[in-house]
Amino acid sequence: MLPFTFYSPTLFAFGENAEAQTGQLIRRFGGSRVLLVYGGGSVKRSGAYDAVTASLREAGLPFAELSGVQPNPRSGKVYEGIALARQEKSDFLLALGGGSVIDTAKAIGCGALYDGDFWDFFTGKAKIEATLPVGTVLTIAAAGSEGSDSMVITQEAGNLKWGAPKTDVIRPKFSVLDPRFTCSLPAYQTACGTTDMMAHICERYFTNPPDVGLTDRLCEALLKTAVEAAPRAIADPNDLSARGDLMWTGMLAHNNSCGVGREQDWASHQIEHELSAFYDCAHGAGLAVVMPAWMEFVMDHDIARFARFAVNVFGCEMDYAHPERTAREGIRRMRAFLRYIGMPTSLSDIGARAEDIDAMVAHRAEKPNGFPFGGFVKIGPEEMRAILRLCDR
Amino acid sequence: MLPFTFYSPTLFAFGENAEAQTGQLIRRFGGSRVLLVYGGGSVKRSGAYDAVTASLREAGLPFAELSGVQPNPRSGKVYEGIALARQEKSDFLLALGGGSVIDTAKAIGCGALYDGDFWDFFTGKAKIEATLPVGTVLTIAAAGSEGSDSMVITQEAGNLKWGAPKTDVIRPKFSVLDPRFTCSLPAYQTACGTTDMMAHICERYFTNPPDVGLTDRLCEALLKTAVEAAPRAIADPNDLSARGDLMWTGMLAHNNSCGVGREQDWASHQIEHELSAFYDCAHGAGLAVVMPAWMEFVMDHDIARFARFAVNVFGCEMDYAHPERTAREGIRRMRAFLRYIGMPTSLSDIGARAEDIDAMVAHRAEKPNGFPFGGFVKIGPEEMRAILRLCDR
């Protein structure tokens, strides 16, 4: 077990009608003037917008609004939000939405207190030292940004989809998790979110060192819950038990509860960022394509671990004479599960083309410290090309 | 899944030599004058005292000392600490020890900011609104107080071993977890600690409602880790992997990660508090006696859950024709495991006497809201008597 620091100071208010606490929570964490950040019409149709703004009014909190955040959130909206937060003298950011909205709010929070370009935090030119406090009201179980120390923004100049260095500074002060707000999600988005949270766990599970018994078991507990709950939520979108399981699993998958005591990998995420930068596919959809291919590419480095995954998550029988068969069967079932919930599993499924592989690798190389990446197996340009070729099925 | 609030804002610094961060962590959380609280000579023999005070000196932090805290910590030491903290103008409490030391520091922290008797917080006469910040350097994996919202103190006037109402106010700001500090623990204390953490999980596992899939799996992950790691730590006290697993399991067992979304029970703890009040037995030892007896007494209320425990934690084969046999076999294995690691499992093993059962029940009745207790099955005086009689084996 490697040394670690675990710090997850976010307050989570979970359950039906938890959003009625939003105004009080903002007061508790020191807010008095709110910038409300959200996407499009879905939060208005679902009733989330009305419920949250009612809570703000009840707490006597004035608020300005920044709407129109899109999936794979873009820098333009961050610049707009920074200007608005300064103009309105906002001292608290409330993100109402999923990972894209939350990451936009996190970036605004850091940028509003910084004299330079917020993108400096992503390039490494500046270090995040402070932020306006951020709270969230979650509307999709997926990215885990509601409890995480990370954010991903696409810089429009250059089409660079980059993550900022992880820092506890940007963890939200609170997150409201009302499973009802996720009931209106289409099946496809529910599946994308499930894939995203499973990938967050796998990035922490398939790596070194092996002797982290509890972390392994926690990862398996989350993976099994996702595999069990997602089909229920897709079959009956109003199954609040399944929606609640997914919502809580998505948070725990990324607040690092399941990542302590070992290295982490994150290679699949890095490769996927190029897919969504090139094709603007949903992050979860890109991960469904990349992750099983990455697993095939690296499994020989730790057959026992991939076999354990097959047995403990997907119920395979252990083939003690040929553990590599068990390992391979686990990957096959993972891909079959993703297809079952409606995910793409090949480049062509998301409109990507094998001819672009070299361009994606070259684009990655432009990033500071672009290669190699990956904590479990080092991925250089050649390995990235090979993994993307395995996605071309 | 019931609505819940989960808030665990403690920073955990885990690993060998993590205690070197102690001084900086106190500075980070606003401390400038420290009251260092500890027990007896063991922290001096283990080197923990030297390492921690060196870190305080390096950070330029003046500190006063309160030593002599005993297991089943008593009110006298709390009063002494409150007076000392005021005299020394301490603004930060550093607990160096296990649950008894940490709970003493928590009580001092609340009492120092309160004009009345700190015991008012335990009787319900006053509510905890504020505390001096508390940090911990843990030396035994057991009570989980290093991450919890609870504390238990024995009021010497009346021999009342009571817990304060749970409140996030008293969660430590940080906890330093260096598994090396637990390597000098005798086997018996290692086993007591393991029993305590297993009980913390069981209190959250054997209750209602059943449909909390993820919480169930997390509980099972922790229980299996404890069952697997404790014998390793006892066989080789310097097995840092086993010590680390136990240390992290003990924290997660009680910071409520495994308790969200349902009621909790806590009947076994309530009964055990009388055992340790009467016989001053180790808390874990008392729990080893009470918990399996409680399980036998209540198992008919949810045979399926006890059978699941037997299968998922102790590897029993499910008897689908007679699930009650599986349930019973799980309890038998739990008790066998506790005996295997050296725990007592009957009243006589801890020097308790069946003749005192009525007196213990009467003593419990003196507590405000003394009966009934228990979230899963309501325990009145008659039920408490019956459970204690099952302990008389």
Q: Collapse the DSSP code of A333 into the 3-class scheme (helix H, G, I; strand E, B; otherwise coil) and give the result.
A: helix
Q: What is the pLDDT of residue A41?
A: 85
Using the predicted structure, report yes or no on whether residue B139 has a pLDDT greater than 80.
yes
User: In which band, very low, low, confident or very high, does the pLDDT at B180 lie, cut at 50, 70 and 90?
Assistant: very high
Q: Chain B 131-190, CB below 8 Å of chain A: which residues? A: 179
Using the predicted structure, report yes or no on whether residue B208 has a pLDDT greater than 90.
no
Q: Do A3 and B15 touch (CB under 8 A)?
A: yes
pTM above 0.90, yes or no: yes
Q: Which residue of A has its CA nearest to B171?
A: A9
Tens digits of residue pLDDT in A48-70: 999 999 999 999 999 999 999 99
Q: What is the pLDDT of residue B41?
A: 85
Q: Using alpha carbons, list the distances in angstroms from residue A170 to A70, A72, A144, B136.
A: 20, 19, 13, 25
All residues of chain A having their beta carbon less than 8 Å from the beta carbon of residue B213 are 225, 228-229, 245
Q: Do B222 and A245 touch (CB under 8 A)?
A: no
Q: Hey, is the C-beta of B228 within 8 angstroms of any chain A C-beta?
A: yes
- Secondary-structure class of domain B187-390 per CATH: mainly alpha
State how beta strands B92-97 and B4-14 pair. unpaired
Q: What is the pLDDT of residue A213?
A: 87
Q: Cα B88 vs. chain centroid, distance in angstroms?
A: 30
Tens digits of residue pLDDT in B186-206: 999 999 999 999 999 999 999
To the nearest whole Å, the CA of B278 is away from the closest chain A CA by 36
To the nearest whole Å, the CA of B139 is away from the closest chain A CA by 17
User: In which band, very low, low, confident or very high, does the pLDDT at B226 lie, cut at 50, 70 and 90?
Assistant: very high
Could you give the ipTM of this predicted complex? 0.95
* Closest partner CB to B15 (pick from A2, A179, A241): A2
* Closest partner CB to B11 (pick from A3, A5, A214): A5
State how beta strands A134-138 and B134-138 pair. unpaired
Q: What is the pLDDT of residue A161?
A: 86
Q: Hey, is the C-beta of B261 within 8 angstroms of any chain A C-beta?
A: yes
Residues 6+ apart with CB under 8 A from A82: A108, A111, A112, A118
For an interface test with A, which of B1, B138, B260 has the most A Cβ atoms less than 10 Å from its Cβ? B1
To the nearest whole Å, the CA of B246 is away from the closest chain A CA by 9
Mean pLDDT of B163-177: 96
* First-last CA distance in chain B: 38
Q: Do B213 and A245 touch (CB under 8 A)?
A: yes
SS (H, E, C) chain B: CCCEEEEEEEEEEECCCHHHHHHHHHHHCCCCCEEEEECCCHHHHCCHHHHHHHHHHHCCCCEEEECCCCCCCEHHHHHHHHHHHHHCCCCEEEEEECHHHHHHHHHHHHHHCCCCCCCHHHHCCCCCCCCCCEEEEECCCCCCCCCCCCCEEEECCCCEEEECCCCHHHCCCEEEECHHHHCCCCHHHHHHHHHHHHHHHHHHHCCCCCCCHHHHHHHHHHHHHHHHHHHHHHHCCCCHHHHHHHHHHHHHCCCCCCCCCCCCCCHHHHHHHHHHHHHCCCHHHHHHHHHHHHHHHHHHHCHHHHHHHHHHHHCCCCCCCCHHHHHHHHHHHHHHHHHHCCCCCCCHHHCCCHHHHHHHHHHHHCCCCCCCECCCCCECHHHHHHHHHHCCC
Q: Do A229 and B213 touch (CB under 8 A)?
A: yes
| DSSP per-residue string spanning A98-125 | SHHHHHHHHHHHHHHT-SS-TTHHHHTS
Q: What is the pLDDT of residue A211?
A: 74
Domain at B11-182, CATH from 3.40.50.1970, 3.90.280.10, 3.30.479.10, 1.20.120.530: 3.40.50.1970
Q: Which residue of A has its CA nearest to B229?
A: A213
Q: Hey, is the C-beta of B18 within 8 angstroms of any chain A C-beta?
A: yes
| Local structure of residue A93 (DSSP, 8 states) | E
* Closest partner CB to B7 (pick from A11, A213, A228): A11
Q: Do A220 and B224 touch (CB under 8 A)?
A: no
Residues of chain A with pLDDT under 50: none
Domains in chain B: boundaries: 11-182, 187-390
Q: Do B3 and A11 touch (CB under 8 A)?
A: no
All residues of chain B having their beta carbon less than 8 Å from the beta carbon of residue A10 are 7
User: In which band, very low, low, confident or very high, does the pLDDT at B393 lie, cut at 50, 70 and 90?
Assistant: confident
B174, β-bridge pairs:
B11, B135
SS (H, E, C) A130-192: CCCCEEEEECCCCCCCCCCCCCEEEECCCCEEEECCCCHHHCCCEEEECHHHHCCCCHHHHHH
Using the predicted structure, report yes or no on whether residue B350 has a pLDDT greater than 80.
yes
Task: Supply the mean pLDDT for chain B.
Answer: 96
Give the residue from B313, B115, B350, B157 showing the smallest Cα distance to B228.
B313
**Is the link from the previous residue into A372 a cis peptide, with omega within 30 of 0?**
yes
Q: What is the pLDDT of residue B315?
A: 96
Using the predicted structure, report yes or no on whether residue B211 has a pLDDT greater than 80.
no
Q: Using alpha carbons, list the distances in angstroms from residue B176 to B15, B48, B218, B292.
A: 8, 11, 23, 32
Q: What is the pLDDT of residue A159?
A: 85
All residues of chain B having their beta carbon less than 8 Å from the beta carbon of residue A217 are 220-222, 224-225
State how beta strands B134-138 and A152-155 pair. unpaired
Q: Do domains B11-182 and B187-390 have the same CATH topology?
A: no
> What CATH number does the domain located at A188-390 have?
1.20.1090.10
Mean pLDDT of B273-278: 91
Q: Hey, is the C-beta of A231 within 8 angstroms of any chain B C-beta?
A: no
